[in-house]
Every structure is written in C-alpha cells, then in structure tokens.
Structure 1
C-alpha cells in the first residue's frame, strides 16, 4: 500500500471534518445541489480565465467519503478538486457511465475546452458526481442504496451533458453496476481527482435509439466506437484520454465488453478496487 493510501485509510470522519472545516457534516447538510452561490466565487484566483457556467458547477455539493465509502458530509466540487486538499487525503464519490447501443458500440465524449478539470480529453460516455442530496446519496448507507443514488445522478448528468432525456434512460435500456475503483490523479493547474468511482454500464434495448444532443459547454465532440476502434484510438499519439478512463481500459473494460450480452458474472462486485 502506498504512503498516500495509508494516509487516506488512517483518517477518521472526525479527523476529516477537523482538517476541512468547509465540509458540512452529514447531519447538517442542506440537502441542496449547491451550498454556495456563484457570486461567492467571484474574484477567486483559481477561477481566473475560466468559463462562468463551469464555475457555477464548482459550487455543487459532492459527497465527501472515508476510506470505506461511507459519507462524511457535503463538500463543494471546488473543495474536492483542489490538489492542495487532495494531497491531504480529501476523498469524494463519483461515477463513470459506459453507454452501449444495441450494436454493442460504446458512446465516447470529448470533454469541452470550457471544462475546468481535464479539458479537451476523450473519455467514457459520462463522468461526474452524485450530489449530497437524498435521492443521490444512498441515505441508508447500504451499497444498494448508494448504487441507486448513483444511477439517479447518472441519468441527471447524461441529460445535462449529452441531452439524453431522463425519460429515455428510464425506459429504453438498463443500468448495470459493475464495481468501484479508488484512484487519485492530478489534472491541469491546481486541480485533480481523488474518487471512489462507481462503474456503470448502460445497455440500450434492442431496436431502441437515444436522443443525443450534446451541451457544447460540456462536450466538444462524441462518437460511437467498437472495441477495435477504441483500441486504435488509445494507440493514437494525437489523442489524449482522462486518467480514470485509461485505468479502466487497461484493467477491465475490454473483458467486460466481451461479456456485454450477459454481465451477471462481472456486475455487483462488492470490492472497492484500490488503484492508488
């Protein structure tokens, strides 16, 4: 185990709250998507030169975690993504959606240039965070509750980023929870990621099609790929990919892809896979 992993594992919920006083404890969380207004970010030097819509999203309330994926409280997206905080062990919950059509092709997106973290990089269909609100948190603390909350958040973000209506993800296919990965990666400037990331496959039912109408503030480009096409892209030196997507590709994605018709052998893994 790395020294960083040992640091994160050693921190109790109380120690995390003491270390980061801006975290709102779980019992006092506002149960709202954001705990700050965008006006509170005005003049913040870390946001100089960044897009206003993306700055507003940095006020959203992520779910701050302990080593075991138990919720400690609500921390803003800004708080959770500053490397100065990540280096002290601050951890939050995330999800990564891999959406497949009925031809077993995977939908990839290229993140918009406006994104504050990992701009312009290619990645899986949708990568984001459940928020510290009742329907995305998993308030009973069970893994099943957390997975249900992550699926709710995934549908919300698929609509916000790619214009895929929630009504379509609810009726035209099915989510499959595969596992959780725990990783840390620096991004550009002062930013980075340190997440327990829930891996979700979404399989579109036979004969169904989704509306895809990307939000240009979120998505620069998108494409449907076969497994062979993705392998070609990963070997193209002119293309750059997000670190979590590369980790998943290198560890498990292509093996899972081969089992897409029957995921029963690989879904609902209870283990948190540590990639620190």
Structure 2
C-alpha cells in the first residue's frame, strides 16, 4: 500500500489531489492524480458545534498582532488541529492559532500533538533546536521533531496511531528534509501519550495530548532553517550536560521534552533493541 497525502473538506463532491510516493524510484519522484470524490462528513465533525463557545472565545483573541512574526510561521497558524477531550476523544477542530493562544488554553482548549525521537545506528539521539522564527518556544532545544496531526481523515486514523505516524513523516520531511522512504510508517514505534500544559509567554502556549514516537534508523538530514536552528547527534552521557550548559546561555529546553526526559526517555534509550516492554498504547499520562 503506497504512502499518500490527501486533504478532504467537509462537503459533498470535491476535487482531491493525492500524492503517491513511488517506492521504485528515488524521492521525490511522485505521481499526482486528481480525482473527484463524494464524501460524507466525518462523524466526529458532528460534535464540532460543542465547541462553538470556544470558537467565539478564540475570535475574541483574534486581535493578537501577528505582523511581528515570520510570515511563513503565521501562515501555518491557519492549519486545522484536532481538538480532543482529556481522554483523547476527538471533539472537533480549530486553527493552530486558536489552539496555542493562552486565552483559549486557560479555558480548556486541548489538541493532539506528537513528539518524534530519532536514534541512529550508534544509538545516538538526534537533538534539535527550534528556529528563532518559531512563534512558540523560539530557540529552545527539543526532541527531534514536534508538531501536530491535522484534522484530515488520513492523519486522524486511530489504529496503531497510524494517523499520527503519517503526520510525523510529513513534518520530518518538512522540517529536517528526511526522505519519507527512509522512515516508513512500519519503522515508527508509538510508545505512549501524555497530557500537559505549558505557557511560552503571556500570549502563546501549549495544551496537548502528546504522542511519543521512536524511530531507530540512520537518516539523511537537510534541515529547513525556518524550522530548525541547529541539530546534533548526542550520546547518552552528553545530553543532559549539554542541555544544562545551553540553558545557562539562554537556550532552554522545551517543557514537553523536559517531561519526557524526567519520565520516559532514558528507559527507552537504554532499551532501543527491546522497546516493546515499554509500549503503552492505551495509557494516557496526565502530567
């Protein structure tokens, strides 16, 4: 079954562009088909009205000035994130902007996210530093890639967190230039989920159910400087001293990565060849 990306809107007949990765040729060779599909509204969309109050609430915060931010990052604020309740049940969608405004977070708006951890064949960890252009936590050190699955059928598929894995593949290519053929979905291991809330400043923050995903493979990296300021592979004994030193210089660590470091990370790192014992697909840590 080929990997594909698809975007569907809530309507009747739509033109949909589907991109199939050609596994017989080198990336980025792709075949693009345009087809007309008749779709029904997703059942989860029916609950979107539950969030009408939150939608009005986010509109109240729409006067947040965005002209001082990078235009590319501002455009990404229009992406539709997946709204969930505290049990990770889908309840609707909202813009990335609305999901990250503290005015909404403080009233309970919660969305789905993921954090990818890549280790190479030498068991070194791929640490990244967020671009200074990022709207939330600019210049912070963090795990390999952190982002959000979008409110689309392919990235909402629940079984084995396959939707989240598709989103991770998409973002790893966008942020780090990693060829999707180097990171097939079958090589992504969904470990667990955790719920957390953290402000970036008075205006922006995070309130997420974060899916932790591990990839243990060698990859070729070509980062986008608008997304990634720096990256490095680090050994187990190097990581914490490096993060402490960088924090003292004014480049702290993201709150979600700190949670993983304190709760899960080193047990996973010490058992990369035997991770199944730590896999908790039905567990949701509320931290």
Please name the residue that 2:53 is paired with. Answer: 19
List per-residue Cα deviations over 1:236-258 (Å, max 9, x = no partner).
Answer: 22241100001110111011111
Which runs of 5 or more structure 2 residues have no equivalent in the other structure? 1-46
Please name the residue that 2:103 is paired with. Answer: 84
Supply the distance in 1 between the matched residues of 2:113 and 2:200 (Cα, whole angstroms): 16
Please name the residue that 2:252 is paired with. Answer: 240
TM value normalised by structure 1: 0.80
List per-residue Cα deviations over 1:51-96 (Å, max 9, x = no partner).
Answer: 0000000000000011110111110000000000000000000000
| Cα contact 1:256–1:266 (8 A) shared by 2 | yes
Supply the distance in 2 between the matched residues of 1:59 and 1:14 (Cα, whole angstroms): 17
| Cα contact 1:130–1:149 (8 A) shared by 2 | yes
* Selected match of 1:228 from 237, 259, 267: 237
What is the Cα deviation at residue 15 of structure 1? 8.4
Give the length in aligned residue pairs.
234
Matches within 5 A, 1:202-213: 202-204=215-217, 209-213=218-222
Which runs of 5 or more structure 1 residues have no equivalent in the other structure? 1-12, 24-42
Matches within 5 A, 1:1-276: 16-21=50-55, 45-138=64-157, 142=158, 144=159, 147-170=161-184, 174-204=187-217, 209-236=218-245, 237-238=248-249, 239-275=251-287
**CA root-mean-square deviation:** 1.9
Higher RCO by CA contacts (8 Å cutoff, separation 6 or greater): 1
| Cα contact 2:154–2:166 (8 A) shared by 1 | yes
List per-residue Cα deviations over 1:187-230 (Å, max 9, x = no partner).
Answer: 034000000000000111xxxx4220000100000000111111
List per-residue Cα deviations over 1:17-43 (Å, max 9, x = no partner).
Answer: 1421369xxxxxxxxxxxxxxxxxxx9
Structure with greater proportional strand content: 2
Please name the residue that 1:30 is paired with. Answer: none
